[in-house]
Amino acid sequence: MDYVPHTPGEQKEMLKVIGVGDLEDLFADIPAKYRLGGLLNLPPPLSEQEIWEHMGRLAARNRLPGATLTGAGAYHHYIPAVVSHVVGRSEFYTAYTPYQAEISQGILQAIYEYQTMITRLTGTQVANASMYDGATAMAEAAVLSAKSLGRSRLLVGRSVHPEYRKVVGTYAWANGYACEEIPFGATGRLEQAALRELLDDKTAAVLVQSPNFFGVIEDIGPLADLAHSRGALLVAGFTDPTSLGILKAPGDSGADFVVGEGQSFGNPMNYGGPYLGILASTEAFMRKIPGRLVGATVDREGRRGYVLTLQTREQHIRREKATSNICSNEALCMLAAAVYLACLGKNLKRLAALNVWKANYLKEALSALPGWRPLFTGPVYNEFAMSCPDAGAANRRLEKAGFTGGYDLSKDYPELGGGILFCATEMLRREDMDKAVSLLK
């Protein structure tokens, strides 16, 4: 059956109303080199059996690493079997967004419990569920800060994930905001003196990460104090949320927004997604953050129930003022995170401590190799940056032995002179780390 949403006459009438001459004019902002000039070069149709055979051949080309030493925004953690069991139940796995919210008590309870656990971990009062990923969560908080304060300048730590900075920069460009970077020092932490100089009365928000992209733990309190001293807000991100099990909650250090990637909470690495953007804030932004907030109450008979309490949803209430449209988005990823956190409970602290121990074990062992040294002196969580004789050669040697090597920092940080970023989570055994070090001797 053909799908014809609008007739040529209707399209012409709509274009006339919005003052556009041609459909192509709607895509004028997209550079021509990124636009499809013709039909996709697809193979001929296949039968179901042929598709299974084709997909099987493609799957057989996958290579599973023996151990991974890469983090850089996506982390290899153990996922308890109960997570996939609950997420795979048909009432969750096939559910769409709860438009008729109160009859979807199961998903409402899941959202409520997720929001509760995230606010406790981040030291905030409000959390939505959720954004597309950590980068868009940070960008959303930045734009929300600027709009709330009526200011037009954003200061982003250069130690923030490079891809996050690009996304924030794109949001800033689209909204007409200026975006500048705060340098980092020898510790790997942001330079507070430089931040003090950069801050002015136009600054809407200071955006940082802790642990930052280098795995270094920032001191959030002083950064928040500096931002607040000029009337700006502090957006505190994180690289790996398992760090919240051991680090002081950013909200307790003065952060106005806490954002980051929630993939580590029960969501496997899967070729870049789907991911889970965590966005939490103080109560002051309860009516401004995107998405939905679920509350708990009792019915007339005193039975506990869950309700869609606030819904500043873009398509319903504040469409003209909306900064995003997150719709059904990551509800299943949110559910996985809720189950994961409920499963771990207080053991999240032990897991975080294990990540700290393993990262420091590997860091010390690598530091003993000739020509190898840590790039920064600050304390780290589960990642650390190293200077080495040849990052490319080191990775090739590791990959030949079945490891996924470290992240080459040269393309994002040329000033670091060929540094390499390693990660060690609880998934690395001691013998894995010892073998990796022996390969790099």
Whole-angstrom distance, CA of residue 76 vs CA of residue 354: 14
User: Closest Cα to residue 290, out of 335, 258, 322?
Assistant: 322
- Residue where the block lists tokens 């070729």: 271
**Are the beta carbons of 409 and 423 closer than 8 angstroms?**
no
Q: Which amino acid is at 127?
A: A
pLDDT value of position 328? 60
Residue 160 burial class via C-beta count within 10 angstroms: exposed 0-12, middle 13-18, buried 19 and up: buried
pLDDT value of position 113? 96
pLDDT value of position 98? 64
Per-residue pLDDT of the chain (441 residues; tens, 9 = 90+): 456 778 889 989 999 999 998 888 999 889 989 988 888 888 899 999 999 999 999 999 987 778 999 999 999 999 999 999 999 998 888 766 666 667 788 889 999 999 999 999 999 999 998 898 999 999 999 999 999 999 999 999 999 999 999 999 999 999 999 999 999 999 999 999 999 999 999 999 999 999 999 999 999 999 999 999 999 999 999 999 999 999 999 999 999 999 999 999 999 988 888 899 999 999 999 988 888 889 999 989 999 999 988 876 555 666 666 667 666 656 889 999 999 999 999 999 999 999 999 999 999 999 999 999 999 999 999 999 999 999 999 999 999 999 999 999 999 999 998 899 999 999 999 999 999 999 998
The 3-class SS string of 255-314 reads CCEEEEECCCCCCCCCCCCCCCEEEEECHHHCCCCCCEEEEEEECCCCCEEEEEEEECCC
**Are the beta carbons of 290 and 314 closer than 8 angstroms?**
yes
Whole-angstrom distance, CA of residue 298 vs CA of residue 209: 39
Q: Read off the tokens for 198.
A: 């950069």
Phi-psi region of 211 (alpha: psi -120 to 50; beta: other; left: phi over 0): beta
Q: Read off the tokens for 305.
A: 């129930």
Q: What angle do CA 5, 9, 11 make, to 5 degrees?
A: 55
CA distances (Å), origin 228, targets 199, 204, 254, 264: 10, 10, 9, 31
Q: Which amino acid is at 351?
A: L
Angle formed by the axes of helices 430-439 and 391-400, to 10°?
130
Q: How far apart are the first and last CA of the chain?
A: 64
CA distances (Å), origin 257, targets 56, 128, 276: 45, 12, 16
Q: Say how many CA atoms lie within 13 Å of 206 toward its Cβ.
A: 31
pLDDT value of position 308? 86
pLDDT value of position 291? 82
Contacts of 87 (CB under 8 A, 6+ apart): 93, 332, 335, 336, 339
